[in-house]
């Protein structure tokens, strides 16, 4: 317990009460005491096909014994091309080019660099500014925290990108509390983009707008009806690229394959990770419209490398093997359809917690829900943490972000497990003071 510095963890607290996972299968983790823990979070929003899936395990084993590693620069391997084809075939129509990375953070920074470079290779070097949103999360790399909207993630790192701006969050408890699915009010918040870029900036200096279609990490904030369409219209009007960070919302989470399709808004660039490889091997991807890719090819001139960017582990053979097997499972088992079919029960059970003490709001879409609790005076986040711990004691894994409890189970969840998940949260809230 001495050497390991844990990420995003209260390290000192953890040492006195460690929570150790030792194995996983289907919907369940096992902890070091041998208890089964119902996975209400798909690990960290990523194990969409459930744990220990044989086709994925076997694909990785086969690949490790065949081609363990291949340098991705100036060399290729067949599974990289196949994984890209399969992902493009599954992607929202129009996003046909795939750039592989290893995480959601890398996907975000890659997308931002691509956006700025895209304008530049087309001779539009003035477009360098990036617009994100309050309560947006795009990972922890410098680009991601710069456009992200979590002040706490930036406080210790004051040297972020400066050519950024942020829209207001769409979170609006006064108008939208206890919405089921998409909230009714707030589409007009998108107009802030036009107001800001025309008054505080020059629109011809804006390279891209990046948003999570549904903000996950900051508490399951579902976009108001029509909001994303308006963002798209404003971006089109001013020649700005629209980037969707679908690291959480991709691969069936919202009861559709992608948020882009769920909300019928096509971004120019889409980032994904997590469910791309079922979380089994790290992997992310940036999907772009062919014209973005083609602009780099056309403008390369005497530059041999069109986009000087990539990682040692881009399109890693094990990740590609895991991803191909994962995408196959999604298709064969129609897991996105399954998520859509289970969504009404999920919604019903989530909203059954309305009326519990301290519950300020409940939000849901597809197989994701957020339960917002009121904060203990002077101890923001404590109630959320306590509920998380109580659930853990009951053998149910949920996530907490501040005082918001988030649930995003694997898409293979059964109805009675949905019932158990929300029943446990209800009990935990009642037992927590």
- Interface residues with ligand PMP (CB under 6 A) are 103-105, 108, 137-139, 212, 216-217, 245, 247-248, 273
User: 168 and 203 in contact (C-beta within 8 Å)?
Assistant: no
> Rounded to the nearest whole angstrom, what is the least distance from the CB of residue 274 to ligand PMP in the complex?
7
Nearer to ligand PMP, 166 or 390 (CB): 166
Nearer to ligand PMP, 247 or 387 (CB): 247
> Rounded to the nearest whole angstrom, what is the least distance from the CB of residue 217 to ligand PMP in the complex?
5
Nearer to ligand PMP, 118 or 137 (CB): 137
* Cα-based distances in Å from 160 to 125, 133, 371: 21, 15, 32
Adjacent-strand bridge partners of 371: 362, 405
> Rounded to the nearest whole angstrom, what is the least distance from the CB of residue 277 to ligand PMP in the complex?
11
> Rounded to the nearest whole angstrom, what is the least distance from the CB of residue 133 to ligand PMP in the complex?
11
> Rounded to the nearest whole angstrom, what is the least distance from the CB of residue 408 to ligand PMP in the complex?
10
Nearer to ligand PMP, 167 or 429 (CB): 167
Q: Give the CA angle between residues 291, 297, 300 to the nearest 5°.
A: 135
Nearer to ligand PMP, 138 or 420 (CB): 138
* Residues 254, 96: Cα–Cα separation, whole Å: 22
> Rounded to the nearest whole angstrom, what is the least distance from the CB of residue 237 to ligand PMP in the complex?
26
Q: Give the CA angle between residues 270, 273, 279 to the nearest 5°.
A: 160
> Rounded to the nearest whole angstrom, what is the least distance from the CB of residue 105 to ligand PMP in the complex?
3
Nearer to ligand PMP, 245 or 361 (CB): 245
Nearer to ligand PMP, 216 or 219 (CB): 216
Nearest residue to ligand PMP, scored by beta-carbon proximity: 104
* Residues 407, 428: Cα–Cα separation, whole Å: 14
> Rounded to the nearest whole angstrom, what is the least distance from the CB of residue 246 to ligand PMP in the complex?
8
Nearer to ligand PMP, 176 or 249 (CB): 249
Nearer to ligand PMP, 273 or 368 (CB): 273
User: 389 and 14 in contact (C-beta within 8 Å)?
Assistant: no
> Rounded to the nearest whole angstrom, what is the least distance from the CB of residue 208 to ligand PMP in the complex?
15
* Residues 429, 431: Cα–Cα separation, whole Å: 5
């Amino acid at each position: 317990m001495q050497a390991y510095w844990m990420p995003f963890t209260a390290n000192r607290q953890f040492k006195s009460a460690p929570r150790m996972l030792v194995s996983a299968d289907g919907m369940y983790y096992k902890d070091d005491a041998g208890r089964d823990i119902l996975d209400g979070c798909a690990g960290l929003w990523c194990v969409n096909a459930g744990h220990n899936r044989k086709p994925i395990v076997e694909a990785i084993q086969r690949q490790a014994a065949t081609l363990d590693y291949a340098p991705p620069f100036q060399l290729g391997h067949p599974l990289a091309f196949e994984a890209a084809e399969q992902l493009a075939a599954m992607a929202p129509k129009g996003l046909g080019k795939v750039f592989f990375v290893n995480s959601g953070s890398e996907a975000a920074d890659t997308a931002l660099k691509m956006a700025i470079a895209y304008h530049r290779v087309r001779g539009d070097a003035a477009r360098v500014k990036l617009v994100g949103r309050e309560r947006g999360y795009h990972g922890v790399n410098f680009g991601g925290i710069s456009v992200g909207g979590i002040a706490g993630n930036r406080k210790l790192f004051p040297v972020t990108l400066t050519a950024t701006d942020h829209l207001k969050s769409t979170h609006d408890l006064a108008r939208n509390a206890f919405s089921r699915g998409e909230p009714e009010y707030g589409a007009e918040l998108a107009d802030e983009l036009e107001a800001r870029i025309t008054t505080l900036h020059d629109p011809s200096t804006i390279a891209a707008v990046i948003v999570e279609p549904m903000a996950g990490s900051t508490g399951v904030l579902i976009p108001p009806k029509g909001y994303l369409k308006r963002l798209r219209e404003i971006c089109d009007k001013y020649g700005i690229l629209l980037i969707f960070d679908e690291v959480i919302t991709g691969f069936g989470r919202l009861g559709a394959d992608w948020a882009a399709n769920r909300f019928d808004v096509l971004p120019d660039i889409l980032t994904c990770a997590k469910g791309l490889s079922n979380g089994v091997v790290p992997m992310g991807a940036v999907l772009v419209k062919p014209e973005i890719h083609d602009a780099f090819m056309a403008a390369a001139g005497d530059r041999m490398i069109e986009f000087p960017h990539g990682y040692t582990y881009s399109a890693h053979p094990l990740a590609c093997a895991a991803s191909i097997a994962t995408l196959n499972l999604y298709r064969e088992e129609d897991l996105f359809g399954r998520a859509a079919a289970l969504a009404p029960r999920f919604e019903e059970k989530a909203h059954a917690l309305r009326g519990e003490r301290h519950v300020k709001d409940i939000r849901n879409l597809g197989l994701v829900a957020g339960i917002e609790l009121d904060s203990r005076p002077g101890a923001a986040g404590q109630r959320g943490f306590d509920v998380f711990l109580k659930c853990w004691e009951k053998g149910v894994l949920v996530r907490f972000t501040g005082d918001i409890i988030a649930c995003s189970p694997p898409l293979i969840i059964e109805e009675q497990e949905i019932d158990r998940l929300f029943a446990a949260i209800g009990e935990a809230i009642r037992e927590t003071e």
